[in-house]
Amino acid sequence: MGKLDFSPIADTTRRAEIVALLRRAILTGQLEPGQKLNELRIAEQMRVSRAPLREAMRELVQEGILTSIPYAGTFVIDVTAKDIDDAYSLNKVLDEFAIELTWKLRDQRFFAELDRRHEAVKQATRDLDTTRQIETALQLHGLIYEWSDNSVLLETWQRLTSRLQMYFALHQHARNEPVPAEDVHETYVRLLKGKDMRAAQRHAREHIDLDFEELLAYARSLEQRASKGARADRAGHARGRPEGG
């Protein structure tokens, strides 16, 4: 008998596909923070009924990237500087923990996967594909969580990641510059391969701090803009149209 490991077949429910579509639209910034999601219009565009769409939206609400107000609508979450700050400071703590757990589980496969993901980031950087660069960088970062053998920790980080990715995407959208050319993950990878766990943990903190200040500054500027036209945002004013699929 052949010893082939079959991977589970794809979820064939419309709901799952809608979730994926919406999540991508949000995390890449096609749907802007604060924007209202009109169920009828989205359902029409996707050629589905509102039932699976609404179920998908509930999932994303619980995932933390949408927020829902009964009888008013469902909106992409607003990005506040405080949120970013909170998320990052928590991320630091989780990183330290993940490194600690992963440390003694590192093996040849871990290092290989680490290199593979690092390479993916560098490739995306060369391609000047900012969206993919964010994606791959977070995947590189996520390896220590996947390897930590703590499913609750992994799940927690993945939730956090959704927002972080959204924040990053916003940031990248804002500044038109393409991308940082230098490889900011070189040290991170090297330390994860090394023998000094403390050093790796320390670097994880500092590395995160890298363009944190820039991101925060951008978030604050967003807030100022928001506080001016707050009323219009809340009502779902037709400022930006959702880019259909």
Partner DNA sequence: GACAAGCAGATTGTCGACAATCTAACAAGA
Partner DNA sequence: TCTTGTTAGATTGTCGACAATCTGCTTGTC
Sites of contact with DNA (CB under 7 A): 12-15, 36-40, 47-52, 54-55, 68, 70-74, 234-235
Shorter beta-carbon distance to a second copy: residue 61 or 216? 61
Residue 152 and residue 159: Cα distance in Å, rounded? 11
Shorter beta-carbon distance to DNA: residue 38 or 150? 38
Name the binder of 86 from DNA, a second copy, none, CB < 5-8 A by kind.
Answer: a second copy
Encoded one letter per residue, x for contact with a second copy by CB under 8 A and - for no contact, window 79-98 reads ---xx--xx-xx--xx--x-
Name the binder of 153 from a second copy, DNA, none, CB < 5-8 A by kind.
Answer: a second copy
Token pair 């959704």: residue:
162
Helices 197-209 and 212-228, interaxial angle, to 10°?
30
Name the binder of 39 from DNA, a second copy, none, CB < 5-8 A by kind.
Answer: DNA
Q: How many CB atoms lie within 10 A of CB 52?
A: 18
CA torsion, ordered 183, 188, 194, 200, to nearest 10 deg: 160
* Strand residue runs (E) in 129-233: none
Residue 205 and residue 155: Cα distance in Å, rounded? 20
Given 44, 115, 119, 149, the residue binding a second copy (CB under 8 A): 149
Instruction: Give the phi and the psi of residue 74 in degrees, each rounded to 5.
Output: -115, 130
Please tell me the count of residues contacting a second copy according to CB under 8 A: 43
Name the binder of 72 from a second copy, DNA, none, CB < 5-8 A by kind.
Answer: DNA
| Shortest spacing between CB 170 and a second copy, in angstroms | 17
Residues of span 18-77 touching a second copy by CB under 8 A: 51, 54-55, 58-59, 61-64, 70-71
Residues of span 100-139 touching a second copy by CB under 8 A: 109, 113
Shorter beta-carbon distance to DNA: residue 36 or 117? 36
Sign of the Cα pseudo-torsion (100, 194, 147, 28, in order): positive
Residue 238 and residue 124: Cα distance in Å, rounded? 34
Shorter beta-carbon distance to DNA: residue 51 or 128? 51
Residue 144 and residue 161: Cα distance in Å, rounded? 13
* Strand residue runs (E) in the chain: 36-37, 66-69, 73-76
Point out which residues pair with 240 in neighbouring strands: none
Q: Which residues are at the interface with a second copy (CB under 8 A)? A: 11-13, 15-16, 51, 54-55, 58-59, 61-64, 70-71, 82-83, 86-87, 89-90, 93-94, 97, 109, 113, 146-147, 149-153, 155-156, 159-160, 163, 241, 243-245
